[in-house]
Chains A and B, each alone.
Chain A
């Protein structure tokens, strides 16, 4: 075992040495003013669907800036990679940052301050709630791409066939869950994700919880609140009564393919994944607003990304040119949607229409799913703020889920330990929190 890892290390070493040689070679060329390249090459890291297509389209239509796209993993791994790369000085020029992770990335000092260049752009083009997500400490840090408005995708054919009404409130959702199980004992209304907490966090947002807040010079962390308790109690009940699937993710996918999972909660962007994962069920799915706690429709955001310039980038201008093109022009949005893989809902309202036109709705039986997502935008609960340490919060809740699954813990008890750990983690990093 030891010798093998040594061998791997040696191979890696060789590769790194040669990469370093290439890098220094490039550096020398750029230093000499005589052969300053007319084309600025910027690198771009992302995991978002259709990023390669967007890059290709940009490169085709631009001569002064050329972009090199590199696929990185999403989630904790991707952000870890970015943080390490900034430290090592080989970060990409353009980085993808989800709204939830922006405070964390700022606390790590990963992003360059480009507020002077983008504040006017963001202020003039984006709706106020979206602006808030990328404005922290009075500065605008990144340019938003999409709004991950949460909706409910559902198997229209099955709901109609069994004459079950599409639930509009969470009470109706529970009733429908019972009806679904009755109609098909193997089927459940939705899947309870045993490890990924992103949806659950956003359901707390929808219920009016506010997990982070700023009080003067300090973060106020309040995961455990009456609103959160309401959400946890509700889902614990569904789990206890066996009204939602409670199986590992691999098996959920299998059950979805078998038509045993009738709804899927998720951001507008999740439609692309649904389409790719279940090609046989084309025409059978539809989109509806997320069920709400009272009659008034309410939503939250799950995911949603923006682009920033990394701290170590020396090509700020070129990077911003690409970012602006990707996020604020019809061409940029068109390129993202044309491949059919992405179902991103652009944060700029006019561009949402461009996206709707470019999205192939065959999978959703021709339904205007962008209409549903757009209608959800103004119903997103206001006042939610993402704080630093969200990576730990998502992870921590995910770990607690494992205890819930084995019955060692009940959902309402998951907030306490994660809240305490988040506060102590922030404090040990020198960040004021209580």
Chain B
């Protein structure tokens, strides 16, 4: 007997549920539940009494106090400023380099495209932790051939200054993420209709002119998307400054929002850390919302 329409649909639902269940299970267990627990923690504070030798601390309900503390803490607010400055240095440089490289790869003169793509992508597969450790060595005077060489030609690089710290971290993340964005941009460039390029060639445009006035505007959507994803990644900046900190003296314990949160957990202030995390989550959610808005706009351009 042939299966009825509704039976088939029901069976398909069943199959669909079976395939999506693992996702929802993990999503609930490792994303929603922790956020819920974080929400509960953010409304409480651990309290002991007396000399603090009396055993386990209790969780006391403190309302929104943890949030007020975070939002009035100059260190926490300052960490957003640092990330802002960092973004202003890092994003134009990284996206700019990635765009130029992608356009070069896409130009008619490019040779060994595959090899270059692979080479450019390589830094991205180095774990951030390892990359940060390697770069920390490269930033340390007396150990680094680069710093010593710069010193010899009288270009001092001071990791101990505020600008030096931002520069050092931005340089490291640029090194890591440029290749990834080159791949994205290159893929977008492949989708640019060849007729358009041929038409501009016929009109007498050179390679540079084509790249700048035809190709680049046509992948604007991809560039906007990359910028906003990068902003979201940059706001969660943790590993790189955490490691480079050892050598860069101006990177303090609250240099970025994530570092600030980590510092609170070390002081056993789980409530404060949870509140700060939720604030960061909200900021990120707003940024994510902007991503979707802009990417829609970008696609229609």
A residues contacting B by CB (< 8 A) are 1-2, 9-10, 12-13, 76, 80, 83, 103, 106-109, 136-137, 139, 194-195, 214, 217-219, 247-251, 254, 311, 388, 391-392, 395, 399, 402-403, 405-406, 425-426, 428-432
Which A residues lie within 8 Å of B26 (CB)? 10, 13
How many residues does chain B have at the interface if contact means C-beta atoms less than 8 Å apart?
41
Given contacts A137-B51, A406-B160, contact A429 B30 (CB under 8 A): no
The answer to whether A103 touches B53 (Cβ under 8 A) is yes
Q: Which residue of B lies closest to A141 (CB)?
A: B53
A76 to B57, CA, bound (A): 19
Interface string of B44-68 (1 = CB under 8 A from A): 0111111111111100100000000
Interface string of B253-272 (1 = CB under 8 A from A): 10000000000011111000
Interface string of B17-33 (1 = CB under 8 A from A): 00000000010011100
Which B residues lie within 8 Å of A1 (CB)? 229, 232-233, 236
* Chain A: minimal CB distance from B125 (Å): 10
B residues contacting A by CB (< 8 A) are 26, 29-31, 45-57, 60, 136-137, 140-143, 160-161, 229, 232-233, 236, 246-247, 249-250, 252-253, 265-269
Contacting residue for A430 out of B49, B53, B250, B266, CB 8 A: B49
The answer to whether A137 touches B53 (Cβ under 8 A) is yes
Ordered by A's residue number, 24 sampled pairs between the chains whose C-beta atoms are within 8 Å are A13-B29, A76-B266, A107-B52, A107-B57, A136-B53, A137-B54, A217-B50, A247-B141, A248-B247, A250-B143, A311-B56, A392-B266, A392-B267, A399-B252, A405-B160, A406-B249, A429-B48, A429-B57, A430-B49, A430-B60, A431-B50, A431-B51, A431-B52, A432-B51
User: Quick one: which of B57, B136, B268 has the most chain A CB within 10 A?
Assistant: B268
Which B residues lie within 8 Å of A106 (CB)? 52-53
The answer to whether B143 touches A254 (Cβ under 8 A) is yes
The answer to whether B246 touches A248 (Cβ under 8 A) is yes
Tally of A-B Cβ pairs under 8 angstroms? 114
Contacting residue for B269 out of A194, A249, A406, A428, CB 8 A: A428
Which B residues lie within 8 Å of A403 (CB)? 249
Which A residues lie within 8 Å of B52 (CB)? 103, 106-107, 219, 388, 426, 429-431
A311 to B56, CA, bound (A): 9
A311 to B55, CA, bound (A): 9
The answer to whether A395 touches B266 (Cβ under 8 A) is yes
A426 to B47, CA, bound (A): 10
Q: Which residue of A lies closest to B23 (CB)?
A: A10
The answer to whether A13 touches B236 (Cβ under 8 A) is no
Report whether over half of chain A's contact residues are helix, strand or loop; otherwise say mixed. helix
Which A residues lie within 8 Å of B267 (CB)? 391-392, 425
The answer to whether B57 touches A109 (Cβ under 8 A) is yes
Contacting residue for A249 out of B54, B246, B253, CB 8 A: B246
Cβ-closest 5 pairs across A and B: A109-B56, A430-B47, A107-B52, A1-B233, A137-B53
* Chain B: minimal CB distance from A105 (Å): 10
The answer to whether A430 touches B249 (Cβ under 8 A) is no
Contacting residue for B252 out of A76, A103, A195, A402, CB 8 A: A402
Which B residues lie within 8 Å of A108 (CB)? 56-57, 268
* Chain A: minimal CB distance from B181 (Å): 12
User: Quick one: which of B52, B54, B57, B160 has the most chain A CB within 10 A?
Assistant: B52
Contacting residue for B53 out of A107, A250, A425, A429, CB 8 A: A107
A388 to B250, CA, bound (A): 28
* Chain B: minimal CB distance from A133 (Å): 14
The answer to whether B49 touches A194 (Cβ under 8 A) is no
Which A residues lie within 8 Å of B31 (CB)? 9
* Chain A: minimal CB distance from B144 (Å): 10
Known: A254-B143, A429-B268. 18 other contacts (CB 8 A): A9-B30, A10-B30, A103-B53, A107-B57, A108-B268, A109-B57, A139-B53, A217-B50, A217-B51, A250-B136, A250-B137, A251-B143, A254-B142, A402-B249, A405-B160, A406-B160, A429-B46, A429-B57
A403 to B162, CA, bound (A): 12
Which B residues lie within 8 Å of A194 (CB)? 249
* Chain B: minimal CB distance from A7 (Å): 11
Q: Which residue of B lies closest to A401 (CB)?
A: B249
Which A residues lie within 8 Å of B136 (CB)? 250
Which A residues lie within 8 Å of B236 (CB)? 1
Which B residues lie within 8 Å of A80 (CB)? 265-266
Q: Which residue of A lies closest to B180 (CB)?
A: A1
Q: Which residue of B lies closest to A136 (CB)?
A: B53
A25 to B253, CA, bound (A): 42
Which A residues lie within 8 Å of B246 (CB)? 195, 248-250
The answer to whether A107 touches B48 (Cβ under 8 A) is yes
* Chain B: minimal CB distance from A301 (Å): 21
User: Quick one: which of A217, A248, A249 has the most chain B CB within 10 A?
Assistant: A248
Which B residues lie within 8 Å of A402 (CB)? 249-250, 252
